[in-house]
Amino acid sequence: MKIKDILAPESMIMSLKATNKEDAIKEMADLEVQTGIVNNEDEFIKSIWAREDESTTGIGDGIAMPHARNKSINKARVLFAKSEKGIDFNSLDGKPVYLFFMITAPAGADNTHLEALAKLSGLLINPDLVSALKLAQSPKEVIALFEQAEAKSDAEKRSETQAANTGEKPLIVGVTACINGIAHTYMAQEALIKAGKKRGVDVRIETNGSEGVKDRLTPEEISRAQGVVIASDKKVDMPRFDGKPLVSRPVVDGINKPDELVATVLDGKASVYHSDSKIADAGDSSKQGVWGSIYKNLMNGVSHMLPFVIGGGILMAISFIVENYAGGPKSPAFIFLNNAGNMAFAFMVPILSGYIAESIGDLPALMPGFVGGFMATVYSGSYGGAYVANVVTNAKSPAGFLGGLASGFIAGYLVVGLKKLCAKMPKSLEGMKPMLIYPILSLLFIALIMYYIVNPIFSTINFAITNFLNQMGTGNLVVLTTILAAMMSIDMGGPFNKAAYVFASGAFANDPHSTVAAVMMAAVMVGGMVPPFATAIGTAFFKNKYTEDERRAGVTNWILGFSFITEGAIPFAAADAGHVIPSCIIGSAVGGALVGFWRIGVPAPHGGLWVSPLANHIVLYFVATIIGSIVAGVILGLWKKPVDK
């Protein structure tokens, strides 16, 4: 299929009326509906914005490629639109967008359509074509320009393939992949190939897009390659690159920094990849650092754990309401809800431990990580004591959340150590490693370590922390809730924010019935709701201090704040960190202090104000949030300078 088959004169807007991103997407979506390409405009626009929220499709150089693939789309098509004055589309280079390519693909689009979309994406790397499109005056001229560029590109690729087959030039291989796999994957491929051509080397790129893996690299090509470039936002098949110099970056760097990536390989600056490493470590391990690695591994465990904490915690909290107001402890509804919540909680620490271990040692570490986490919750363990079964009821204090954290890291590095010990085993015994050696030895060692070392130590620590929190007076509690709430605003979803949330949710997981744990959960939720509410207040009452786009985003932040989604304030913080972050920290700290002073408890680990019926002081929970948000919003509004200044 040719590019002209997915372009059509009726799907072109030669002069957009829109002057901002939101209106531009709406104007293009209106035409998609009018031409029968889209059958549900609301769903289509939602999917376009969902993609924009992941990362902007304004790729730079005046081009944007908003795209979607779902059941609201009837036909694969590329809508072309031009803006004479340019539109702020939050592009990666910060410059206005003049050319728009709205790419649509039905949920069941066949490979021929997707290949045509991929080819179009690749052609837009050509600056001559882009310049000509900006001057085009009619749909007919646009189609003609693409046909000429396509013919030229096909001829060049045939010539390059013939040259590559001779093996005369140095070769670099690589993989490009993005989450949606419609445009960025192929633009990165084209950009890397062109960067290689400038340096006099052949570049062969495998793409992992919507239609699956294309242009798959052969073992011969990988063997002959001087190095490897990975420009990907998702996991790719890595072990085949073992022993090769490799650089790994996000797919957007493949589009915007292809010369840098190719030069890194050619100049010998790429680190050698070993198949036991993870993708994220392959290209940037030197930049990541020890703490960066620890944080990445911890967050892998926390992200998998959160659904168990949130689902189980909220069901348990609802069961307490049923117990108090609708039937008592023998009520079938209470028994069902409480058991369901408890069952989810039973998986929480093993999931945390297992996926921390998996992040460090890959799949072989998953099993010992799970077992270590399970032991942290059900075995007390001792240096010489008897084996204890069902410690949920018999143990004075399991190692709990902290023991699960420890077991995850221990299991992960335990498997890494086993891999290194077995690295020089004969090739004939290679199959024994994952099937026998790793499972048996890792299980044996993690069980010994947990039972005789980790559980005795961490059960003591856990018991001490729990007692300290439960006996904490109002003054100390206010200090703690103030700090936790303030941390939620320091980086709004980053390491400080996550550390505060993990600390509070860990205390809650150890003892869901604890009053202090419920107060800590309320504090982090109030602290996390303040930033989006503060920016919403600022954009509503200090309109001259914000741009038109910021005022629209501020409306959305009312809902995000209500739902405890702190990240809604990130665009404001990125644009003006010096004013936004300090204001939000002050407001969050005030809200957190009020939570501690009034001992407001919310026995649920997420939900924001939606779970306010579960609070012990519903009105005060709202009041603490409102006061903290107003303090932050007013400080920010008074502090910021008007937009025109």
Burial of 429 by CB count in 10 Å (0-12 exposed, 13-18 middle, 19+ buried)?
A: exposed
Q: CB of 629 within 8 A of CB of 561?
A: yes
| CA distance readout (Å), 256 to 85, 187, 198 | 24, 10, 15
The number of C-alpha atoms within 13 Å of 431 and in the hemisphere containing its C-beta is 1
Q: CB of 113 within 8 A of CB of 61?
A: no
Determine whether 422 is an active site residue: no
Closest to 416 measured CA to CA, from 374, 363, 350 = 363
Determine whether 584 is an active site residue: no
> CA 428 from chain center: how many Å?
40
SS (H, E, C) 129-182: HHHHHHHCCCHHHHHHHHHHHHHHHHHHHHHHHHHHHHCCCCEEEEEEECCCCC
Q: CB of 582 within 8 A of CB of 486?
A: no
CB atoms within 10 A of CB 285: 16
Angle at 297 between CA 436 and CA 311, to 5 degrees: 95
CA distance linking residue 461 with residue 148, whole number of Å: 71
Catalytic residue among 67, 113, 184, 579: 67
Catalytic residue among 113, 178, 579, 606: 178
> CA 283 from chain center: how many Å?
19
Q: CB of 540 within 8 A of CB of 554?
A: yes
Active site residues: 67, 178
